[in-house]
Amino acid sequence: MAEEYLSVTVDKFQLRVRRGLRYTRDDVWVQDAGQAHRIGITDLAQRMGGDIVFVDFPGWDAFKEGEPLATYETIKAVLDVKAPFDCEVKAFNERLGEKPELINEDPYGLGWVAEVASKGPAKGLLTDQEYFSFMKEKAEAETRKLKGADDD
């Protein structure tokens, strides 16, 4: 049986991409379930952002592709969960209000952010393999930047 995740180790961190989901270059994953889609942020996103202290949901439910349908705050920054396509939110993961760390602990499972209905075509979503390649490059670039690595 194929493993559930594609994974790569960068320094001491294992970064995972869950098979069978679709992805955006904004590090959002999409799980298709008929008319509805469950979405969240990827392992890379939660790792780069750091420990999530707050998750905030706006007071409305209609979003254009790319608009932030939720924000999450870490020590480092306030970051957006960007809508993967035009959509209407049917449910936000209310548990994140009390336990935002669920996103860090289980980004593809209990740390889901919202369930949405699409209101337009989902263009340009990546397959798991495509996102895995994208993620590896991004992670390695970030590591090089942080460490100021150079070759003599």
Partner 1 sequence: MKIRPKVGVVSCSGECCSLGTLSRVATRLILEGVRPETVTLCLPLFLAGDSGEREFAQRFPTIPVDGCHKQCAKKAIEKYSGSTAADVVVEALLEEWGEKAPANRRVLGEADVELAERVAAEIAKRIDWVQGGQDA
Partner 2 sequence: MTERVLVIPCSGIGKPFGSIGRDATLRVVDELRPGKSETDCLSLLVTGDEEAVRQVKDSLCIAVDGCPLECARKNIEMAGGVVAAHVRVMDLLRENRGLKPREVTFLDGDGEKLSAILADRIAAKVDELAEGQR
With CB under 5 to 8 Å by kind, the binding choice for 75 among partner 1, partner 2, none is: partner 2
With CB under 5 to 8 Å by kind, the binding choice for 137 among partner 2, partner 1, none is: none
Q: Is 1 exposed, middle or buried (0-12, 13-18, 19+ CB in 10 A)?
A: exposed
Which two tokens mark 34? 């008929």
Beta bridge partners of 126: 23
For residue 145, the SS3 value is helix
Determine the interface stretch with partner 1 among 11-19, 59-67, 96-104, 120-128 (rule: CB under 8 A). Answer: 11-19
Q: Is 19 within 8 Å of 27 (Cβ atoms)?
A: no
Which two tokens mark 65? 């592709």
Q: Does 98 bind partner 1 (CB under 8 A)?
A: no
Least Cβ distance, residue 129 to partner 2 (angstroms): 30
Q: What values do phi and psi take at 90, rounded to 5?
A: -95, -30
**Residue (53 or 117) nearer to partner 2, CB:** 53
Q: Does 13 bind partner 2 (CB under 8 A)?
A: no
Q: Does 46 bind partner 2 (CB under 8 A)?
A: no
Sign of the torsion angle spanned by Cα atoms 107, 66, 73, 140: positive
* Residues of span 117-146 touching partner 1 by CB under 8 A: 146
- Which residues of the shown chain bind partner 1 in the complex (CB under 8 A)? 9, 11-14, 146-149, 151-152
- Which residues of the shown chain bind partner 2 in the complex (CB under 8 A)? 50-51, 53-54, 75-76, 101, 104-105
